[in-house]
A and B are shown apart, each in its own frame.
Chain A
Amino acid sequence: MTLGFYVRALVRESRGSRGRLTFFIACLAVGVAAVVSVAGLSASLRDGIRREARQLLAADLAVRGNQPIPPEALTAIAALPGARRTDVKETVTVAAAPGVNGQPGPSQLVELKVVDGFYPFYGKLDLRPARPLHELLTPGTAVVAADLLSHWKLKVGDSLQIGGQTFRVAASVLAEPDRVGISFTIGPRVFLSGAGFARTHLEDQGSRMGYRTLVRLPDGISNAALDAAAERLKQALPGGESFRVETYRQAQPSLRQNISRVEKFLGLVALLSLFVGGIGVAQSVRAWLASRMDAIAILKCLGMRPREIFPLYLGQTVLLGLAGSIVGILAGVAVQMTLPRLFPDLIPPELIRPWQPAALLRGLGLGIGVAMLFSLPPLSAVLRVPPARVLRRDAEPLPRHRWVTAATFLTLAAGVWGMAALQSGSPLLGAQFTGGVAVVTAALAAAAFLVSWTVRRLPRDAFSLRPWLRHGIAALARPGAAASGAIVALGLGVLVVLGMSLVERRITSQLEKELPSNAPSAFLVDIQPAQWPGVERLLHQAGGEGIESVPVVMARVSAIDGVTTEAMQGKDAPAGNGEEPEGREGNGRERREGNRRWALSREQRLTYMQELPKDNKIVAGALWGDPAHAEVSLEQDYANDIGARLGSTIRFNIQGVPLDLRVTSLRTVNWQTFGINFFLVVEPGVLESAPQQRLAVARLPRGGEQRVQDLLAASYPNVTFLRIREILEKVLKVLRRISLGIRFLGGFTVVAGIAILAGAVSAGSARRGREVALLKTLGMTRRGVAATFAVEYALVGLVAGAIGAVGGTVLAWGIVTRGFEMPWVFAPLTLATALAGSVLLTVLAGLAASLRALERRPIEVLRAE
């Protein structure tokens, strides 16, 4: 047999099956669309970031750290030929509008950006009036986010207060090149000049600062020269994690890495809908082959070998897979075109290029792969078609080869795993996903079987049911009812969508609900010790309760048991100045290493107290029991992170002064009380004379927080006031975005499930047509027949919904109680909604697919018999 013959045979065989396989294509297209959307959007975002990397960095090169950039580095920058430099400082503080009639004006947390020099080197800073920033900023002016101005009803020329100083608004800012919409932000932007910021004394008073030096190199600099410049700066900086050098060519590694992580996760959710589509593919192929049995028998009779017929039909599924994938790709591109317009702050539309070749290829490959893999089990029936069927319709099928069955399912499992590994970028995660899907699918299939089995054994005449009800129930149990595939697919869809809704609702309501009655509602940081009595009085006057305050001393860990942190970090730190390799999910060891580096490099807050708060529990050692040493008590997980044990000596650097402390106790902390807690608590009598600030918490009357913030901003402008509720809102916003993404993709799974049901109904339309004809002949009205069908579909929807609801609840329960360690609350209303939705959707889809059968006149069908 020649290739030419195969191609001809393939084309001929595809003739008989066009209309019939609409559902094959539909099922596949839904999943492919989901995969292409996820892959395309994230590729667009990453490409966009790469494309606009210079704008996003606003420079060719940047040095950043949480301490001032050391003079050695600045000298090194000055030594780079043709380099220009801008110094940027960032911090969060409170800004206030001018007061009226002696009353303080409204106040708000803002993200302060202090710029000395030309900014930005690349990209557009969108200002009104449109003048360069360095011309607008003087020691007495500020450039303020447009939305903050409109919120306070201020305009350019008015003034506002920052750190107790008055600044005139010189311009409003609409967009910054290096502030991306997808990032987490705390408040609106305010620009100050270095001299203006110096007037506020916020830096001297210990506010947490981020430091950045932007470097512009001469135009047309080669990549090698850029990397060499970065390397020279790295050499000039002290080792460890305090500073990092970033070039635009690295293009925001951490942002891109975050996108990749989200992509992998959502990619698996999308893959699930493709697999559900695969179930539909298998059903379509089974129905299609059932109608090709005679043709297959004839081919065998004419001397075509089973191994020659099999590829012929596999080839058909590849062609159909191609068609379904192309339809899916088009739908995926359409999703990418619409979604950013609907959610512009979620996905920046200007970054999206929907025709991402890699994403389209991925959709094509996975689509055809799923079409082939999921067709294998039904296609193996080709081997069993008895050629004697040409003589006797009822000829028994050829014996099943055990190895064929085994090979089919091994191939299927391996293929599913391979795809999951591709989508998640991790063979292990792929295997876990495959295992999970297999278990859930098996559970759903078993449940579907159990329901059908039970219904079959129900004594149907024991109840005096209306005929359409009895008939509908009987239809579910009918041998060969195509319901089980639809139940599994729909159940999976309901499981994903409901599971995620439950998780989201649970976490949202946990975070939104009244905080524990004794929990504080506000944190106050950066209070100077001398300010505390006044601040405390203010809180009391505002009706504050549970006011507590502790001293805070900022320090860095410089050595543990004689090993310097630089040595500790140098030992394990990967090359590339801390840039994590892209495209690899951090494994446990890497993540621990990341925690450790973070814990070692960041500035730590130390406090001192005689007795620990009630939510602390000593788990090792004893509190302040060693008269020979200055003691520190460590939170257990933190101790693990930095690698300290009971008895270790930790050397701290407190603003240049070294201090050795011995670890004499380890604690656990219940963080959910929102009380003041520290990783590091020092014995009293050691830190009293060190430079320090105070941290305070208070429980303020509901609705009274804004007033307190306004008063504080007027009298103690350096104090940052953080509302717990506001912070929780920010967290919730992020959470809702993630949940929205998952539910959106989960929706594809439901749509695939519906397509499968419609396909199953339509595949049986000939049988249904006969059924309708018979029922009509027996005197049932069309409405009665429709009711019978509706009962059958409603039962399918009910069973699928119920199984999915149980599965979704288990999934959500696991995530909430294990992942988030929150108590579980049953949500009957959500479950009921899911059930009702599932029933409604299946009835509508089922009836829509049976319309043709319902319209047929009895005589047409009976005559054709």
Chain B
Amino acid sequence: MNTPRIEMRQLTRKLPSGERELTILDHVDLAIDPGEFVAVLGPSGSGKSTLLALMAGLDRPTSGEIRIDGTPIQAMSEDGLALLRRKKIGFVFQSFQLLSNLTARENVLLPVELLGLANPFARADELLAAVGLADRGHHYPSQLSGGEQQRIALARAFAARPPILLADEPTGNLDGATGRRVLELLTELRAREGTTLVLVTHDPVVAALAGRQIHLRDGRVERDERASAAAAVTPAAEVPA
């Protein structure tokens, strides 16, 4: 059997909240295989974002284990985690998180440069074209609309060809049509690059695009459902009109 891309064992995260501790994630066991498209659903406070943060090494578990490609990451140094993200993980956030003092093109360029890939500029331009913003590269984020910003964020996330993409409510701040366009791009790029995608959402329609839905409630996995294989391979066709 292949090593799962992401694996969690008895993962627990508690946060101090005043006098007592709040359990955000409670002994979660999960394994996500390479190339999977997983949607994480759940009401507010169910631990979706914390799960994502732990996968990326942005946060550290209180107990339990996370492995990326078989390597445990919970004890890695900040530097080690940064290198892990640089090589393996791309991000898309609800609030875009573009660097405001960088142009759109420079934002896309940054992960490629960090990785030291050959021809970073060509790669950045290729991605700008892929998200349909080839002519907006010299704009600063503040000069772009929300949908454009998120498309730049998508380009940045895929720029360094990470095997894993983590998306935190990527359409949460966008209106319906714009959101659909962004989702379309996201699934298209994922399919093209063969990226493992973990997408946090509370929108069942968005979640329906995924080949697997994990429902969280009170820090535990409530349901873990796999759709038919077809749904995962032809995502573009399935985007709700």
Residues of A within 8 A of B (CB): 1-2, 5, 8-9, 12-13, 15-17, 294-295, 298-308, 383, 386-388, 390-392, 395, 398
Contacts and interface: CB of A to CB of B under 8 A. Distances in A.
Contacts of B144: none
A806 B111 CA distance: 56
Contacts of A392: 49, 53
A1 to B, nearest CB: 7
Given A302-B85, A388-B58, A13 B97 contact: no
A292 to B, nearest CB: 9
B37 interface: no
Contacts of B84: 303
Given A295-B101, A388-B58, A391-B52, A304 B86 contact: yes
B101 A15 contact: yes
Contacts of A5: 113-114
Nearest to B157: A302
B129 interface: no
**Would you call the interface of chain B mostly helix, strand, loop, or mixed?**
helix
B141 to A, nearest CB: 11
B53 A391 contact: yes
A326 B157 CA distance: 41
B102 A301 contact: no
16 contacts: A5-B114, A8-B113, A9-B113, A13-B101, A295-B99, A295-B101, A299-B110, A300-B82, A302-B111, A303-B84, A303-B85, A307-B79, A390-B58, A391-B58, A391-B168, A398-B78
Contacts of B57: 387
Contact of B85 (A16, A301, A306, A391): A301
Given A302-B111, A388-B58, A12 B101 contact: yes
Most chain B C-beta atoms within 10 Å of own C-beta, residue among A8, A305, A398: A305
B234 interface: no
A775 B186 CA distance: 47
Interface string B98-129: 11111000100011011110000000000000
Interface of B: 49, 52-53, 56-59, 78-79, 81-87, 89, 91, 93, 97-102, 106, 110-111, 113-116, 156, 168
Contacts of A304: 82, 86, 114
A762 to B, nearest CB: 20
B116 A2 contact: yes
Most chain B C-beta atoms within 10 Å of own C-beta, residue among A304, A307, A395: A304
Given A295-B99, A388-B53, A390-B97, A1 B91 contact: no
Contacts of B91: 301-302, 390
Contacts of A298: 97-99
Given A299-B110, A303-B84, A303-B111, 8 more contacts: A1-B114, A5-B113, A9-B113, A16-B101, A298-B97, A386-B58, A390-B91, A391-B93
A390 B168 CA distance: 10
Nearest to B159: A302
A388 B101 contact: no
A294 B97 contact: yes
Contact of A302 (B52, B114, B116): B114
Nearest to B59: A388
Contacts of A306: 78-79, 82
Given A298-B97, A305-B79, A391-B49, A12 B106 contact: yes
A1 B116 contact: yes
Contacts of A17: 101
B101 A305 contact: no
Nearest to A292: B101
Contacts of B93: 390-391
B56 A301 contact: yes
Nearest to A296: B99
A305 B82 contact: yes
Contacts of A12: 101-102, 106
B112 to A, nearest CB: 10
A281 B202 CA distance: 46
Contacts of B115: 303
A440 B114 CA distance: 45
A22 to B, nearest CB: 17
Most chain B C-beta atoms within 10 Å of own C-beta, residue among A2, A301, A302, A390: A302
B83 A301 contact: no
